[in-house]
Amino acid sequence: MNIMKNVVKEFQKPNVIIVLTDDQGYGDLGCTGNPILKTPRIDKLFEESIRFTDFHVAPMCTPTRGQLMTGMDALSNGAYHVCSGRTFVRKDIMTMAEYFSSNGYRTGHFGKWHLGDNYPYRPQDRGFQETLCHNGGMIGAASDYWNNDYFDDWYVHNGEKKQYKGYCTDIWFGEAMKWIRKCAGEGVPFFAYICPNAPHVPLFVPESYRRPYLEQGLDENLGRYFGMIANIDENIGKLDDMLSETGLAGNTIFIFLSDNGGKTAVDFYNAGMRGKKCSLYEGGHRVPCFVRWPDGNLRNPCDIDELTHVQDLLPTLIDFCDLQGLPEDVNFDGISLEGLLRGNTDRLPERTLVIQYSYLPHDMDPEKWDSCVLRGKWRLIGGTELYNVGNDIGQENNIAGQNPEIVDILRRDYEKWWDRVSPLIRDFSYISIGNNVGEEICLSSIDWLYAHASVQSAHIRKGVKDNGPWNIYIEQNGIYRIELRRWPKEANVEMSNGVPPYRGEDGIYPEGKALPVSKVRLSIQDFVDEQPVQEEDTAIVFYAPLKRGKTKMTTWLFDSEGELLCGAYYTYVTLIDKKERS
C-alpha cells in the first residue's frame, strides 16, 4: 500500500471516474429526500461533493450518453434515439475517451455503452483502451447475448465474448477496480467510465438487497428497484474505500450522475417534479450530479443551483485535466464549469439550452418544437407551455399567456438552434462490414432504420412483425457470406421453431413463439435473392459480390402464402474473399 501511495504522488494529472447509472431518477437517493431508500455511501459522496441541483440530461439513455461523450447536443452528434440506426455518434466527432487517451491517460469503460454494438462505434473504436460491456441498451436487448439475465452473464471484453460469474453491477465495479489498481501500479493517470445497467428493467437483483424493502410493505417492483440501487450504493462504497486505501482519492475527480429521469419509483417519490423518463417535463431530465476532487482546489462542498447540463462535463474536464489537441473546429454545446467549481464565480453566463431527442410514438426523425427550452428557471415545452420551476417545480401552472415576451425570447432562441441542427438529423451513420477477411459482424434488428418494435429479446420471442433496412458501409470489394437467422447463433434454434421459457437466477423470460417461416429474401446493392426454408434450418446463407461504399441491406421472412412475418432479426456478415472490382 505504501508503494502505491508513493506512485500516486508522482501523478502529474488528476484521475477521473464517472459513474453513470441507468434510469435512476432525481428522487431515487437518500440524499435527495427519498423517505425509504437507503443510500449511505452515495450520501457520503454527496456530502463531500459540490452538488448541481439544476442539472439536466436527455430524457433517454442514448442521447445523454452521446452528449456526455461529445459535449454536443444529441441532434448535433447524431445519437438522438435508442435504436433504429440513430444510436451512433458520428465518426468525425472526437469523444471524451479520445481526448483522454491522446493525452497519455489510460481509458476504461465498464457496463452499458448504448452508442453502437459494431465497428466503428464500439467503445474500443471511440477511445477506450479497456472495455467490458453488454450489447444494446439493456441486458436483454435484442443485440445482447441470448438469455443474459444479470447473473453469470456473457459480456464483451475488448471485442471478445466471455462469461463472468456474479451479479452484473458487482462485475462492472469489480472489474473497474482491478483495472484502476493496475493503472495506479503502473503510475499512469486513468479515466474510468463506470456505467451500471441498473436500476433499468428488468428488475433482477439478489434477494438480500430487495428483502429489506419488501419487508416494509413496498410492492414487488418498487422493492426490487430500491434493492438494485442499494447494490449500486454498496459498490460505490467499495470503490470509494479502494480509492482511500490506495491513496488515489485525493487526486481523483469523481463525478456521479444518472442518464435520465426516473421511471419505476416516480409515483412513490419524485422530489415534487412532474414527468419521468421520456418526458420533456422536469422529472424527465433533471438528475442528480455531484463532483468531488479533494486535491483540486475546489470550493467547499455545497449546492449550486445554476442551470447546467451534461454537455458541460467534457469542457470542464478538458480544463481540469489540461487536455491538449482539441480539433480546431470543435464547437461544444456545453461550457466549462471550472470557474463555478473553483469558486471563482457564482454565476454562469445566461444561456438558452434545448432538450430534444427522438422517441416513440413520435416519428423517428425529431420534429420541430418537440422540445424543452430552458433559460434560468424558465421552461418552454412544445413551443407553447411556459413554466417557472423556481416557484412551480411541479409545473402545474402554464403561464405562457402572462409572459408573452419570455415565450418570444425562448421561441426565437429555439428557432436559431433548430436552424443549426435540423440539417444534421438525416446525416445517418453506417455500420461497417468487411474490414478484415474472415471477421464476422452480427447485425440485429435493434439497428433497423425506422423499425422500433424489435429492440428487446422479449420482442424477438413474441415474433413481432417488424422490419427495416440496415445502413451499411462496405469497406472492401469482395464476396460476402450473409447468414439470415430468426434466433441468434448462441440460441441454436431452427428458424420456424419457438423456444421454451427461460428461468434465470431471479426471473423468467417468456416462451418464444414459433413462426411458420417458409422463405427468406435478401437485398443489398444489386444483389437480390430468395431461398426456401426447411424445417431443420437454423439459418439461410447467401453469397453476395459487393462493392465498396454506402448501401442499405434488407431481409424478409415469409410464410408459405408469401405473407411477411418479419425481417431476419439476426444477420451475420463475413468477408470471405477479397476481390478487386471495377
E-assigned strand segments in 383-536: 385-388, 431-433, 440-444, 470-474, 478-485, 502-503, 508-509, 519-524, 527-532
Q: Is there a domain that residue 369 lies in?
A: no
Entry pTM: 0.96
Residue 419 included in any domain: no
124 and 260: one domain? yes
- Give the cell for residue 35: 423517505
The string of pLDDT tens digits covering residues 58-93 is: 999 999 999 999 999 999 999 999 999 999 999 999
CB neighbour list of residue 103: distance below 8 Å, 6 or more residues apart: 13, 321, 323, 324, 325
In a domain, 27, yes or no: yes
For residue 26, being part of any structural domain is answered with yes
Q: Kindly state whether residue 172 falls inside one of the protein's structural domains.
A: yes
CB atoms < 10 A from the CB of 14, how many? 19
pLDDT higher than 80, residue 4:
no
User: pLDDT by residue (tens digit) across 500-522?
Assistant: 999 999 999 999 999 999 999 99
Could you tell me the CA-to-CA distances from 267 to 27, 221, 274 in Å, in that order? 10, 12, 10
End position of a domain, from candidates 327, 346, 365: 346
Spatial separation of the C-alpha atoms in residues 205 and 501, rounded to whole Å: 19
- Identify whether 372 is part of a domain: no
Residues 403 and 397: beta-carbon distance below 8 Å: no
Q: How far apart are CA 211 and CA 226, in angstroms?
A: 10
Q: At residue 80, what are phi and psi to the nearest 5 degrees?
A: -115, 5
Instruction: Look at residue 312 and give its three-state secondary structure.
Output: helix
> How many domains are contained in the chain?
2
Query: Domain containing 258: what range?
Result: 2-346
User: Do residues 334 and 463 share a domain?
Assistant: no
311 with 451, same domain: the answer is no
Among 23-32, 72-81, 247-256, 444-453, where is mean pLDDT lowest?
444-453
Q: What percent of the chain has pLDDT over 70?
A: 97
**Average of pLDDT values for 5-14?**
58
Of the pLDDT bands very low, low, confident and very high (cuts 50, 70, 90), residue 7 is very low
Q: Are 153 and 502 within 8 A, CB to CB?
A: no
**CATH number, domain with residue 88:** 3.40.720.10
Model confidence band, residue 196 (pLDDT cutoffs 50, 70, 90): very high
Is the pLDDT score of 582 beyond 80?
no
Pair 439, 340 in one domain? no
Domain boundary among the residues 315, 346, 377 is at: 346
| Residue labelled with grid coordinates 458520428 | 90
What average pLDDT is seen over the chain? 95
Q: 291 and 165: one domain?
A: yes
**232-236, 454-458, 519-523: which has the minimum mean pLDDT?**
454-458
Query: Does residue 418 fall inside a structural domain?
Result: no
Domain final residue pick, 346, 379, 394: 346
Task: Please tell me the predicted confidence (pLDDT) of residue 453.
Answer: 83
- In this structure, what CATH number is given to the domain that contains residue 464? 2.60.120
Which segment of 69-73, 326-330, 362-366, 473-477 scores lowest on mean pLDDT? Answer: 362-366
**Would you say residue 143 lies in a domain?**
yes
**N-term to C-term CA, the chain:** 63
Q: How does residue 580 score in pLDDT terms, banded at 50, 70 and 90?
A: low
